[in-house]
Structure 1
């Protein structure tokens, strides 16, 4: 299927700060495929979730230092930094604001992307190969950007090397 995937990431750097990434990352070039942009992003009003979360004073846009990360997500992605003064406030924001937004984005994905009709759409062999190549490249680069950099610091070289190798093997990106 050509449909976007569903991504929700919570990266907590302290008890009072975290980064939220909530998106349906595009799997086709949006400039070359304006119908794709319309179908999955404009018609679903996906950007409204980001806009409503940004109304909270504790939430600001997050700009990843990685050009790859910034290019991989959709224009409607909620890439947000949440900073609070007290620990309990973070859980409150997650429960009262982030959780409902994430459920709505998941609902869009379930209704538009993970439905049987989407699976039955016929794609040409070339289009299918292009999507597979794009997905594989995305997975490989994501592992390199995230796991290759973070795991050795967290688990040591030997353990992280074995775990990363197994993950790459499982995702077919060796």
Structure 2
């Protein structure tokens, strides 16, 4: 027994060192793996929370919300294998002003390198107005990259009162329609896009809406739908009826045209045309941030928060 004990202690120091070293390495690996797992878990949770918040559309009516959810799901289902998860910071995916009067949810999904899609962006904005009531904006836009010269997709509903709504629905061209008449014929004439605009204009409460921004007017297509819907003081029932029975089907039809004839179109784009698209897309995206978002976000969320949100958007808008 004594011999066995002595023999044991002769090797014990090496065994302990070896065991300690192995345990320490294992512990470091475990801690590193644990931290990585926790970090990934937190990030996954934040992504889910950001997406969940975006899909709430909490301040709009049921017909309005249902339309937004249908449009978002249609685009994502069509390109699910191409789209990557939203990686915006949590405080950009959802931001609420300190005084609680303004909120924004922003969801941007970039695509993989094999897709003609550059990114898809959805958002909702809610702001309480000093005069009472609120401003609610919901939007969905999809941008193509330079491998496809087809038009982009833009949809926006702006509601400043229960009885007033502005609809923006367009496939903005990415080439000059005068220099490329075939582009006009392929994407606007052959698809009969103008019939959807004409259908909405037959509704008595629908009037043309002319934006004060000359830039936005200059980049819109000839079939762009810019309409104002003004109804009687009925707490919004008539506008919800128009959304459900008219705006909903028209918006889905236009989105279907974009998906089938633009996003999924097999277009041959040469190197010279790619360079033109990159330059043109870059100018328009920069101007969109400067003229549209850059002027409205600081008023809604304050300069610091607006800067943070806009900087995050710029990363995707940069061509």
Deviations along 1:137-171, whole A, 9 cap, x unmatched? 11111111221111111111111112112211232
Structure 2 residue 288 is matched with structure 1 residue 139? no
Distance in 2 separating the partners of 1:100 and 1:170: 30
The 3-state SS of whatever aligns with 2:169 is: strand
Distance in 2 separating the partners of 1:61 and 1:151: 25
Distance in 2 separating the partners of 1:46 and 1:129: 28
2:219 to 54, 58, 72: 72
Distance in 1 separating the partners of 2:315 and 2:253: 33
Structure 2 residue 201 is matched with structure 1 residue 54? yes
5 Å matches for 1:1-174?
1-85=148-232, 86=234, 87-115=236-264, 117-118=265-266, 121-172=267-318
Deviations along 1:98-137, whole A, 9 cap, x unmatched? 010011111111110121x52xx32111100111111111
Distance in 2 separating the partners of 1:66 and 1:137: 16
Distance in 1 separating the partners of 2:291 and 2:229: 22
**RMSD across aligned C-alpha pairs, in angstroms?**
1.2
Distance in 1 separating the partners of 2:297 and 2:169: 23
The 3-state SS of whatever aligns with 1:126 is: helix
Structure 2 gaps, min length 5: 1-147
TM-score, length of structure 1 as denominator length: 0.93
Larger radius of gyration: 2
Distance in 1 separating the partners of 2:166 and 2:275: 33
Aligned length: 170
* Greater strand share, structure number: 2
Distance in 1 separating the partners of 2:257 and 2:316: 28
Structure 1 gaps, min length 5: none
Structure with bigger RCO (C-alpha 8 Å, 6+ apart): 1
Distance in 2 separating the partners of 1:172 and 1:3: 18
The 3-state SS of whatever aligns with 1:142 is: helix
- 2:143 — aligned with what? none
